[in-house]
Amino acid sequence: MTWCLETYCGASLIAEKLQHTTAENSIGKLELDKNATPPSLVNRAGTDVIEAFLTFNTSVARCRGILRLSPDNGEPAGLRAWTFFTAIDALAGFEEKTYRNRPTGESYSRDFQGPNWLDKRIAAVGYTDREPDVLVVGGGQAGLSIAARLTQLGVDTLIVDRNKRVGDNWRNRYHALTLHNQLHVNHLPYMPFPPTWPTYIPKDMLALWFESYAAAMELNFWCDMDVTSASFDDEQQRWLVDLSKADGTQRKISPRHMVMATGVSGIPNLPDIEGLSSFAGPKIHSSQYKDGDDWSGKRAIVIGCGNSGHDIAQDLHSSGASVTMIQRNPSLVVNIEPSAQFPYKLYDEGRSNDECDFITTSMPTPLVKQAHRHFTKAAQSADKTLLEGLKNIGFKLDFGDDNTGWQFKYLTRGGGYYFNVGCSNLLVDGKIDLVQFGQIDHFTQSGMTMSDGKKIEADIIILATGYKPQEVLVKKIFGDDVATRVGPIWGFGEGFELRNMYCQTGQPGLWFIAGSFAQCRINSKYLALQIKAVEEGILSPHKRTNNS
């Protein structure tokens, strides 16, 4: 209704917004969605409500909604509207090329003298005769999701990625890596994983799927290509983008839109740890770590207690290395099963993935926080023995701001938690040593000396210290002015929506997408619809303000 991702709280404000937007957008009749679950009694965020799926049209779109009613004896019908969610499902006249609207393919079988499908694909990827409408920077789950959505809307889209092969962003990570959440919440748009796949997907299996997905979805993809600079031409309303390959090949392109799909944060964070430079051995960031077998029989120090730090420490231990983990800040720990999966129980209810995604999107942030406080409490109870064991060895625990758990740690800072797949048990059992950062007196050429005089020797130090915020990469590519225009990216700030994600920003033609597989699958749809609306003149290319 507003073309923005927005949440309004309070009956008077909601009524005011509804009155304005329904008149402005020519809202049609609201009807029950015949293709969705009929109205039913459910529990959302600890509250029993009647949940109903709706459909309606506006002057330019087909839309869906969810209305939730809660008991209220003070109302004549004994019910009161609790939440009301609306979203565009399709732009009228610009529907996705799927199902009955799919391409016929007749030209490939009838035009014997003309180019076949492969010829056309090779020509399309080359971009020798045209400019892309959209340049997507980054070919992970975020880049693939938004490119697939845009392609189905008829928006000419090119993905560029600095890796040499599609899927390398997973393929090149450490040897033992698997996804930490379950398969059913990790599907990409249009192509779900095969039903034969394991619950937790290994990295190389996922990398091959990315490669297959890009080919099957007919995505234009340039590997081994890095964006070195980009500037916006206000007169032409196009970006001027310089690209370069490792071999020195350069290319210039001029898309109307750029979508940054480089993750929550793309540049490794290498903190200036006093005295660390004294260590004579290799000091690498976790993104450079490959395989514990390289350090079998050696001594390793891992700085950081997030997922990467724990996984790398466990991988090193399993390969026969002696491992010391350094904790700098309190960390959230949750067993991968069942506790880490509590937020995904909705996906086990037997509903379609599309309906689960829609329900997930429909919950406003304050209620999501309420639900996650409940999940966190349940996890603390289920993981009581493990958490007590960690406390006993001096591991510092936290459970997120206001006990909102791991998912809000991800949404606010992109990390700071660990899904336990065994490393916490190794710490409790003393098989991996734990050191608090404050216990270190100084680093030495061969390791570190503790405050009590104890020396810990090492052959390698791995910095599992996370990544810098997305705005650092924005400043590097686009310059200070654009970075200032856009402002902070990710996290909530003072609002209820993630800042500058999946929506228009202060810089026309610059968009951002990042997050988990589910976040990218869900929000790529709404981001693609906004870009398509700009392309068709339905939506202004300039970000709407409260006064416009």
* pLDDT of amino acid 362: 96
Identify the weakest region by mean pLDDT among 113-122, 188-197, 204-213, 331-340: 113-122
- Report whether pLDDT(110) > 80: no
**What is the pTM for the complete model shown?**
0.94
CA distances from 144 to 378, 387, 491 (A): 35, 38, 23
- Report whether pLDDT(548) > 50: no
Identify the weakest region by mean pLDDT among 109-123, 126-140, 429-443, 531-545: 109-123
For residue 21, report the phi and psi dihedrals to the nearest 5 degrees. Answer: -75, -35
Calculate mean pLDDT across residues 472-493: 94
Question: Which of helix, strand or coil describes residue 376?
Answer: helix
Give the integer Cα–Cα distance in Å for 341 and 287. Answer: 26
Residue 225: its H or E element: strand 225-233
Q: Is 367:373 a contact under the CB 8 Å cutoff?
A: no
* pLDDT of amino acid 388: 98
Q: Dump pLDDT digits (tens) for 373-422.
A: 999 999 999 999 999 999 999 999 999 999 999 999 999 888 899 999 99
CA distances from 270 to 174, 244, 253, 267, 284 (A): 18, 25, 32, 9, 9
- Report whether pLDDT(45) > 70: yes
- Report whether pLDDT(124) > 60: yes
The residues, ordered by sequence, that sit 6+ positions from 92 with a Cβ below 8 Å of its Cβ are 57, 60, 61, 62
Q: Dump pLDDT digits (tens) for 183-195.
A: 989 999 999 999 9
Calculate mean pLDDT across residues 50-79: 94
* pLDDT of amino acid 547: 42
- Report whether pLDDT(235) > 80: yes
CA distances from 419 to 286, 338, 467 (A): 17, 10, 19
- Report whether pLDDT(282) > 70: yes
Q: Which two tokens stand for residue 504?
A: 């228009």
* pLDDT of amino acid 109: 60
Calculate mean pLDDT across residues 271-288: 94
Q: Predicted confidence band at 107 (pLDDT cuts at 50, 70, 90)?
A: low
* Amino acid at site 98: T
Calculate mean pLDDT across residues 361-369: 95
- Written as one string, the DSSP assignment of 53-112 is EEEEE-SSEEEEEEEEEEE-TTSTTSEEEEEEEEEEEEETT---S-GGGS---HHHHH-T
* pLDDT of amino acid 112: 72
- Strands (E) in 234-345, as ranges, are 238-245, 250-253, 257-260, 283-285, 299-303, 322-327, 332-335
Q: Which two tokens stand for residue 108?
A: 């490939």
* pLDDT of amino acid 545: 63
CA distances from 30 to 13, 59, 475, 526 (A): 21, 14, 45, 21
Q: Which two tokens stand for residue 178?
A: 């698997």
| Fold observed for domain 115-266+469-535 | FAD/NAD(P)-binding domain (3.50.50)
* pLDDT of amino acid 265: 63
User: Does the CA dihedral 247-252-254-257 come out positive or negative?
Assistant: positive
* pLDDT of amino acid 99: 87
Identify the weakest region by mean pLDDT among 98-102, 123-127, 348-352, 519-523: 98-102
- Report whether pLDDT(546) > 60: no
In the 8-state DSSP scheme, what is residue 170? Answer: H
Tell me whether domains 115-266+469-535 and 276-463 share a fold.
Answer: yes
- Tokens 């916490």 correspond to 424
- Report whether pLDDT(223) > 50: yes
Give the integer Cα–Cα distance in Å for 468 and 245. Answer: 24
* Amino acid at site 529: L
| Fold observed for domain 276-463 | FAD/NAD(P)-binding domain (3.50.50)
Neighbours of 12 (CB within 10 A): 8
- Report whether pLDDT(93) > 50: yes
Domain ranges of the chain: 11-91, 115-266+469-535, 276-463
Q: What is the number of residues in the chain?
A: 548
- Report whether pLDDT(317) > 90: yes
